[in-house]
Structure 1
């Protein structure tokens, strides 16, 4: 059922928030540190585990996929609540984390773009090969 996928997400979200709060206490920050990101990583790991062990039905996968599609708006909404000025006054950790994240993303994108050869990946063995779409030819300009 779809509700199982939503329940799986809720469990992962609660665990992520608890771990994020615990990391905030360990780092001496009065905030949740990465709770939503940890929750999404837990959701990915739980989904992969359940798929490998036969616990993920199509309906459950639909519930997980539904909330996975809402991930970016949720992160944007949560980030809007953070006080950037307080984080910058609290120490250089926020600046180092931001610069490090941007640097890692830039290097990763550069590596991916240099390794891509421009050819699509071959289809998986269990996927049927779809026929190429037919291209409609336009009538010559000015002719009847």
Structure 2
């Protein structure tokens, strides 16, 4: 059953890659445009619909959860297939876009840290817990 979850992920990845390639061709770009994002949106929509209909058992969810834990390495690996050297060599726009994203992320850290209510601090360690650490 775990295999069905992995199959759902693989099918959504292939469909997302196809949509990204078609979007790139429609825009006149010889590259995949947003394929991974489309794949993740499709995976969420399809698995949620299957869950509501009772056709996606919890064991199959384990396959999706396994790859969810691997999401960042997979996205990094897929992004590494893009022509980064060509993008940087073709002009400073890639560097400017990267620096803008970095600045926006750094500027949002204080904003995001204020979301939610502060949690209670942890109780101090007793002697037995201190020896384990």
Pairwise same-fold verdict (TM > 0.5)? yes
Query: Cα RMSD (Å) of the superposition?
Result: 3.0
Alpha-carbon offset, residue 98 of structure 1: 4.4
Query: With structure 2 as the length reference, what TM-score do the two structures score?
Result: 0.73
Structure 1 residues 55 and 96, CA, compared in 2 at 3 Å: closer, same or farther? farther
Q: Does 1:60 align with 2:49?
A: no
| Separation of aligned partners in 1, 2:38 and 2:96 | 20
Q: Does 1:138 align with 2:124?
A: no
| Separation of aligned partners in 2, 1:22 and 1:91 | 27
Look at both structures and tell me which one has the larger radius of gyration over its CA atoms.
1
Structure 1 residues 73 and 112, CA, compared in 2 at 3 Å: closer, same or farther? same
Structure 1 residues 52 and 20, CA, compared in 2 at 3 Å: closer, same or farther? same
Alpha-carbon offset, residue 22 of structure 1: 0.9
Alpha-carbon offset, residue 91 of structure 1: 8.8
Alpha-carbon offset, residue 24 of structure 1: 0.8
Find the residue that maps to 1:115 and give its secondary structure: coil
The corresponding residue for 2:131 is none
Gaps of 5+ in 1: 121-133, 140-144
Query: With structure 1 as the length reference, what TM-score do the two structures score?
Result: 0.68
Find the residue that maps to 1:49 and give its secondary structure: helix
The corresponding residue for 1:21 is 21
Q: How many residues matched?
A: 125
Q: Decide which moves more: 77-86 or 19-28.
A: 77-86
Structure 1 residues 118 and 43, CA, compared in 2 at 3 Å: closer, same or farther? same
| Separation of aligned partners in 1, 2:5 and 2:69 | 13
| Separation of aligned partners in 2, 1:24 and 1:137 | 60
Alpha-carbon offset, residue 70 of structure 1: 1.9
Q: Decide which moves more: 80-89 or 69-78.
A: 80-89
